[in-house]
Structure 1
Amino acid sequence: MTSQIDDIFKTERELIEQAKESLAINEEHGFIKIDDYRELLDSYIKIMNNFFSLTRLSDKQQQRTRKLLERLSRYVSPPLFKKITHGGERGELNHTKRVKLTIFFSDIKDFSAHSNNLESESLSVILNSYLEEMTHIVNKHNGTLDKYIGDAIMVFFGDPDFTDDYTHARRCISMALEMRTRLSELQKTWFELGYPHPLQIRMGINTGFVNVGNFGSLERMDYTIIGSPVNLAARLQTHAQEDQILISHETWGYVRDFVECSDPLHLDIKGFTQQVIAYELKCLKEDSGTQIASLEDKVRNLLEQVDLSKINKEELIDIMSKL
């Protein structure tokens, strides 16, 4: 772009220099020709015309870039899109890291069987309306939409925007409960479209340390997560019944004061040698909207986030004063 600007203004700069030299010579001899002023003025006019042309070109380029980014935003979750477009050259997304996230999986139970009862156009309408509504809820709760897998949805909380583990888990379960409520409302719309069979979703949620970052090849990469906690979240989802939300014991530890759950369930889950403790998520507690995390929760979160062996007394006092 710099070389193009230089080319555009090169000739005009030369004319200006020539006019200035001519004016200096004439002024030295005690007279100035009006033609010298006219030549200088014409050069400035040319420069201004080129400047306006360049500005219009830049505006058009910005419009094209803005439209391209708008299209790109449909394929990337908002937190990740913001990180890509506003991250500068710091390269936060160019490496993998190990962090604790809360992971969510959902799918529509027996969707393949349901799809056999639908025309392709009706199937597209129902599936797209479902995914659109669920995605809106994901974004509302600041989740990172990892991918769609047919009718399945994979979401995680805690990256690229980190708050704290408690907030991530509570956002995730609030999202899941809202999804379940919204699906029941969508059933009415689909019934009016001529599809009388209700759709039920199954959801699984887990919290744990995973590897997050870019995985793939130089030609194609995905910003995603891998690790055993991801597998457990997926297994809980497949183990859930219709309209059931299963959460792991790890997630339950972060939200137990925030939600109503079943008694512990001891599940035999494929891929795990020991029984997995899980809970059925039922609803939010009545006062959860105004509930403030207890001091016990805050201290526990502090111990998980801070390496006490590496901070001095003054730093510890400052941290504790914020509890």
Structure 2
Amino acid sequence: MSKDSFDLYDREKALISEGSTLLESEDLKTLKPFAQRLFDGFVSLFNENQNLLRHSDRQEQRLVKLNQNLKAQTQELELKRQTQELLSQQLAKYLPPQIMSALLSGTYQSKVATQRKKLTVFFSDIRDFTATSDLLQPEALTEYLNEYFSEMTEIAMGHGATIDKYIGDAMMVFFGDPESKGHQEDARACVLMAMAMQARMKELAVRWKNKGFENPFVIRIGINTGYCNVGNFGSDQRLSYTIIGGEVNLTQRLESHSDPGGILMSYETYCYVQDLVEVEERQPVKMKGIARDVKTFAVLGPKKTQPHRNVALNHEAGINIDLDVSTLTPSERQQLAEKLRAVANQIS
């Protein structure tokens, strides 16, 4: 160890070394001053130890208080997190989940703003709801209606729908905003959702009848694809995220023309899903504000898998045609037949 190095006990070591020599000499003249220095050193060491102990106690108290503060802050932060999580869960019941997630992530602005987008819109309501509700006790009506909306909402969210609102016994949802998989996929998801809902309603009808509900709910569904205004409507104080426009009104009209337990869609939607569902064309719908007669199609069920139908034609003139017509839609087969007839007329 170098001479410049510091040793906390240098003074005590020096006294011990000096004492060893003096005690051997047994000289009282030299022992008495040494004893005084030893006593003074002891007092000094005792005082220093007391100071260190008090300082250590103060530091320990500070650490305990600091740990208590940290624990309290941690508990406060956890309480705030739980409160915010509960608030988010509560708000999510009033807002579409997609909008709620976008608001929390900061990717959606809560201001009055709309845009025009092509959406697939869905309307449903319960047939003869007023008459049915008059036959039920209020408690039973509330139970069945809440179960109905819960089941339909779960199906809607499972298919990626944006739930707009519940209007009495009616339900309005749409596809294409704030998230979209493209116009065709949005329309297909909506129709698949509607079929899943009608299938679930049949299962619920059995359950409700077993519980004493004599005339279970039967719903009608309307689906339409078209351009709507979508976004935040209202004021700086209060906003409502929704859609408006003639195509929305048309969807509601389609729902009112649908069969009980059925699905009625417009031609625009049918074009996107014709390979998915069997349909029956119905009477066109006329509506104020829409110049065209709207072709309508009732969904009969999923498209049945058809066997391959190959049409083969070989001619010695070098003409070879081999076509699987089962892969063509009815309109495509009709167009192909017209073209082939036109070619045949030119040849003859």
Give the TM-score, by structure 2 length: 0.68
Distance 2:174 2:152 in 1: 14
2:10 corresponding residue in structure 1: none
State the match for 2:252 in structure 1: 234
Higher strand share: 2
Matched residue SS, 2:265: strand
Classify 1:110/1:161 alpha carbon distance in 2 versus 1 (closer, same or farther; 3 Å): same
Aligned amino acid, residue 163 of structure 2: L
Aligned 8 A contact 1:235 1:270 in 2: no
- Picking from 103, 107, 129, the partner of 1:84 is 103
Alpha-carbon shift at residue 45 of structure 1 (Å): 3.9
Unaligned runs of 5+ in 1: 1-30, 289-295, 297-323
Matches within 5 A, 1:1-323: 34=52, 35-36=54-55, 38-85=57-104, 87-88=105-106, 90-92=107-109, 94=111, 95-263=113-281, 265-286=283-304
User: Aligned AA for 2:79?
Assistant: K
TM-fit CA distance, 1:44: 4.1
Partner secondary structure for residue 106 of structure 1:
strand
* Alpha-carbon separation, structure 1, partners of 2:76 and 2:147: 39
RMSD of aligned alpha carbons? 2.3
Distance 1:228 1:269 in 2: 9
Q: Could you tell me how far apart the structure 1 residues matched to 2:189 and 2:167 are?
A: 22
Larger radius of gyration: 2
- Closer/same/farther in 2, CA of residues 238 and 209 from structure 1, 3 Å limit: same
- Residue by residue over 1:1-44, the C-alpha shift from the partner in whole angstroms, topping out at 9 and shown as x without a partner, is xxxxxxxxxxxxxxxxxxxxxxxxxxxxxx99525555455434
Superposed CA offset, 1:172-218 (max 9, x none):
00011111111111111221222222432111111112111111233
Does structure 2 retain, via aligned residues, the 8 Å contact 1:97–1:213? yes
What is the distance in 2 between the residues matched to 1:198 and 1:45? Answer: 65
Alpha-carbon distance in 1 for matches of 2:165, 2:98: 14
Distance 2:265 2:77 in 1: 52
What is the CA-CA distance between 1:270 and the residue it aligns to? 4.6
Alignment correspondent of 1:17: none
| Residues 91 and 196 (structure 1), Cα distance of their counterparts in 2 relative to 1, 3 Å cut | closer
The question of whether the paired residues in 2 share the 8 Å contact of 1:205 and 1:248 is answered with yes
SS in 1 for 2:230: strand
Amino acid at match of 1:136: E
Distance 1:213 1:191, change over 3 A: same
Equivalents in 1 of 2:110, 2:236: separation in Å? 14
Report if aligned partners of 2:99, 2:108 keep a CA contact under 8 Å in 1.
Answer: no
Total equivalences in the alignment: 257
Specify the alignment match of 1:4 in structure 2: none
Superposition deviation, residue 98 in structure 1? 1.7
Is the 8 Å Cα contact of residues 126 and 218 (structure 2) preserved in structure 1? yes
The runs of 5 or more residues in structure 2 that have no matched partner are 1-47, 307-327, 329-348
CA displacement, residues 221-270 of structure 1 (integer Å, 9 cap, x when unaligned): 21111111111111111122212211111111111122111136322335
Tell me the amino acid that sits aligned with residue 229 of structure 1: E
Q: CA deviation at 1:69?
A: 1.8
- Per-residue deviation at 1:125? 1.5
Alpha carbons of structure 1 residues 244 and 112: separation in structure 2 relative to 1, 3 Å: same
Identity %: 39
Q: Partner of 1:127: helix, strand, or coil?
A: helix
Residue pair 2:102, 2:108 contacting (<8 A) in 1 also: no
Query: What TM-score, normalized by structure 1, do the two folds share?
Result: 0.73
Q: Distance in 1 between matches of 2:136 and 2:61?
A: 72
Q: Indicate the residue corresponding to 1:320 in structure 2.
A: none
Question: Would you say the 8 A contact 1:262–1:280 is kept in 2?
Answer: yes
Alpha-carbon contact 1:93-1:213 (below 8 Å) kept: no
Shift of 1:281: 1.5
